[in-house]
Structure 1
Amino acid sequence: MGGLLFYDWNTLPFVILVLVLSFTIHEWAHAYSAYKLGDDTAYKFGRVSLNPMVHLDLFGTIMLLIAGFGWAKPVPVNRGNFKRPRLFGIIVTAAGPISNLILAFITLFIFALFQKYGWLDGMSKGSVDAIILFLQLMLKINITLFLFNLIPIPPLDGYRIIQDLVNLRYTEALQKFEQWASVIFLLVVFIRPLRQVTLDPYLRLGDSIINQFATVITSILGM
């Protein structure tokens, strides 16, 4: 680490680039899917866009650099505009994490193409190292964002999915849970012993996902 930063100074420029791309596509996926399913709220706020400036949250980005987790600006969604509010709400919410999963798969596929066809051959060592580092971070961060956002704690996407899945009679219980969930989550993130036995093992599921992707890609490319 570099001081307070979760990432060291050498990788920081690549991390920032990956975060800008990943957060932007994540939030665009929320906004675009909502718009296509009948809710133009995000569209009116200019969020159906691939312009990073309309999606990035300064404090959320700083937290990711410092603590290894963060967030972008939430996309406004009016479920009342959907023909099937709960079902479409789940689809719109899931679109964000799924976009990160797709980005991870595409990244690994590109990396495999480089290996299979030798596209990096002849480049300088510095250029090759930079490209590989970027792809590694793109893969790892997007897998992490996919898993992280599915955690069922507000304001993460996983919690919004739970809200749409559970029976309405449990709404009051969920609201009581919200009062404590964010505090508990922050304790888990910042108290290392708690993080090591809770969040870290969960995020390591990303290694299994990457291995499965690698198997599929190897089969597709005949490697």
Structure 2
Amino acid sequence: MNDIENIIRQISIWAIPVLFAITVHEVAHGWMAWKRGDPTAMLMGRLTLNPLKHIDPFGTILLPAMLLLFHSPFLFGYAKPVPVNFAGLRDPKRDMVLVAIAGPAANLIMAIFWTMVLWLGVQLAATAPYFAEPMRLMGQAGILINGVLILFNLIPIPPLDGGRVAVGLLPRDASNALSRVEPYGFIILIVLLFTGILWTVLGPAFTWFQGFFFRLGGLA
């Protein structure tokens, strides 16, 4: 029973930060595409903060739940990608970079928001512990999930955001070569994940990110 109660407690802490981290990430992509000339996501009703419009049954619900269940050292999830017609952008090569970087930038803003929630929870610990504890825990969760999404998505492998940024910035020959990796991108990432290479590479950066924002939030 204690294990079940702990899982329910963890889900209640992580649910809102995870849902909004991936939702805001996708909305940011669609919003930037709309501003740069492609209204596809807007016309399909995907420029909304309603999580139901963005939920992917596996990536948004099952994957994070399994990671919690198996006590993964980090939590990860994803939403349905917003549709972007890169050919419809005013300057496809340049605007692809802006559309791609909008997602991690939105997660950085979310990390700052959850740092403020964490700080408030720390400040209220002595006077209002009933409210302070969930604020502190959700603030920490929000920092962690947004940190993971920022660092993971900045990996320069298409179709991740970092890969699209690299395709947009590299010279033509290198850009074309990297873009041909996209059909195999997720296979590469899965191999890196299950061999532990991914965490070895991202771990130090994630540890720094977590420590920096936790300190800003008032945790020693």
TM-score tier, shorter chain, comes to 0.7 to 0.9
Task: Give the drift of 1:176.
Answer: 4.6
Correspondence 1:93-108 to 2 at 5 A: 93-108=100-115
Task: Give the drift of 1:146.
Answer: 0.7
Structure 2 residue runs of 5 or longer lacking an equivalent are 68-74
Q: Specify which of 136, 141, 160 is matched with residue 145 of structure 2.
A: 141
> Tell me, what secondary structure is at the counterpart of 1:204?
helix
Asked if the contact 1:39/1:77 (under 8 Å) is kept, the reply is: yes
The residue that corresponds to 2:94 in the other structure is 87
Correspondence 1:172-183 to 2 at 5 A: 173-174=177-178, 176-183=180-187
Asked if the contact 2:166/2:175 (under 8 Å) is kept, the reply is: no
Q: Distance in 2 between matches of 1:74 and 1:177?
A: 19
CA RMSD of aligned residues (A): 2.7
Deviates more, 1:87-96 or 1:167-176: 167-176
Q: Distance in 2 between matches of 1:155 and 1:63?
A: 19
Q: Specify which of 110, 122, 136 is matched with residue 132 of structure 1.
A: 136
Q: Distance in 1 between matches of 2:165 and 2:183?
A: 18
Task: Give the drift of 1:78.
Answer: 1.7
Q: Distance in 2 between matches of 1:200 and 1:106?
A: 28
> Tell me, what secondary structure is at the counterpart of 1:10?
helix
Task: Give the drift of 1:38.
Answer: 1.8
Deviating 4+ runs (over 6 angstroms) = 214-218
Task: Give the drift of 1:89.
Answer: 1.2
Asked if the contact 2:117/2:135 (under 8 Å) is kept, the reply is: no
With over 3 angstroms needed to count, the CA separation of the structure-2 counterparts of 1:82 and 1:8, relative to structure 1, is same
The residue that corresponds to 1:221 in the other structure is none
With over 3 angstroms needed to count, the CA separation of the structure-2 counterparts of 1:81 and 1:178, relative to structure 1, is closer
The residue that corresponds to 1:166 in the other structure is 170
Task: Give the drift of 1:9.
Answer: 4.0
The residue that corresponds to 2:9 in the other structure is 10
Q: Distance in 2 between matches of 1:146 and 1:36?
A: 22
With over 3 angstroms needed to count, the CA separation of the structure-2 counterparts of 1:181 and 1:80, relative to structure 1, is closer
Opposite residue 178 of structure 1, the aligned amino acid is: E
Opposite residue 95 of structure 2, the aligned amino acid is: F
Q: Distance in 1 between matches of 2:141 and 2:37?
A: 35
Opposite residue 72 of structure 1, the aligned amino acid is: A
With over 3 angstroms needed to count, the CA separation of the structure-2 counterparts of 1:203 and 1:30, relative to structure 1, is farther
The residue that corresponds to 1:48 in the other structure is 47
Task: Give the drift of 1:83.
Answer: 2.2
> Tell me, what secondary structure is at the counterpart of 2:77?
coil
Q: Specify which of 151, 158, 171 is matched with residue 154 of structure 1.
A: 158
Opposite residue 208 of structure 2, the aligned amino acid is: S
Asked if the contact 1:144/1:203 (under 8 Å) is kept, the reply is: no
Deviates more, 1:158-167 or 1:128-137: 158-167
- What is the TM-score when the length of structure 2 is the normalising length? 0.80
> Tell me, what secondary structure is at the counterpart of 2:9?
coil
> Tell me, what secondary structure is at the counterpart of 1:34?
helix
1:35 aligns with 2:34: yes
With over 3 angstroms needed to count, the CA separation of the structure-2 counterparts of 1:75 and 1:130, relative to structure 1, is same
Q: Distance in 1 between matches of 2:7 and 2:81?
A: 28
